[in-house]
A and B are shown apart, each in its own frame.
Chain A
Amino acid sequence: AQSVTQPDIHITVSEGASLELRCNYSYGATPYLFWYVQSPGQGLQLLLKYFSGDTLVQGIKGFEAEFKRSQSSFNLRKPSVHWSDAAEYFCAVGAMEYGNKLVFGAGTILRVKS
């Protein structure tokens, strides 16, 4: 079965520090991948997506992610975190072979220390 793992439930970083949120997937097909951000009580906003091509993907708000097929990973990075980045982050994976449904990780809650 398809699965997405975000190993870190909570992460705390200092404002201005770099950030990496991990995402690993298990899929029997060629995946396409997303990172979404959710603020409390809100919907999901897309940060970035990967379908094909360059494995380093740039997104909004200064985020980037790198698709590593050999490691089945799609980690999210930001060089310098801002207090407004505090939110919950979800990695999601889909594949044409499994229809259009997305499988989401359990999420990583990011706290930013000032």
Chain B
Amino acid sequence: NAGVMQNPRHLVRRRGQEARLRCSPMKGHSHVYWYRQLPEEGLKFMVYLQKENIIDESGMPKERFSAEFPKEGPSILRIQQVVRGDSAAYFCASSPEAIDEQFFGPGTRLTVL
């Protein structure tokens, strides 16, 4: 059973461009979470999705950030008009049930020039 997959692993964008981060959860997992890790900090929760629904987006910045988890295909975290402060590692996790262990992907490291 393949683990959580994220791509790309590294992404470089110039200020003002869009970044799209993809996450394929483990097989059989319908719960997906996105976390952001800034340099020298722990992970901060951004959003929790369950197939086609956003369950909790309390950690997501109100502007420029959006997330989806369509019926088919990976979950997407989209950042519009990126700024230097968006440079971070973005981790996706999935779980089989709502209250359960979360399995983490390898992360996407976004660098904004």
Q: Which residues of A contact B (CB under 8 A)?
A: 4, 32, 34, 36, 41-46, 49, 51, 90, 92, 94, 96, 99-107
Contacts and interface: CB of A to CB of B under 8 A. Distances in A.
Contacts of A51: 99
Contacts of A49: 101
B43 A96 contact: no
Given A100-B48, A101-B59, A107-B41, 8 more contacts: A42-B107, A43-B91, A43-B105, A99-B55, A102-B35, A104-B35, A104-B42, A104-B44
A52 B33 CA distance: 23
Interface in B22-43: 31, 33, 35, 41-43
B35 to A, nearest CB: 8
Given A32-B99, A44-B91, A106-B42, A100 B107 contact: no
B105 A107 contact: no
Given A99-B48, A99-B56, A100-B98, A43 B104 contact: yes
Contacts of A90: 42-43
Contact of A104 (B31, B43, B55, B103): B43
17 contacts: A4-B42, A36-B104, A41-B109, A42-B106, A43-B91, A44-B43, A100-B95, A100-B98, A100-B99, A101-B56, A102-B33, A102-B102, A103-B45, A104-B42, A104-B43, A106-B42, A107-B42
A36 to B, nearest CB: 7
A102 B35 CA distance: 9
Most chain A CB inside 10 Å of its own CB: which residue of B45, B48, B107, B109: B45
Contacts of A32: 99
A105 B55 contact: no
B47 to A, nearest CB: 9
A94 B100 CA distance: 10
B103 A46 contact: yes
Contact of B101 (A34, A42, A99, A107): A34
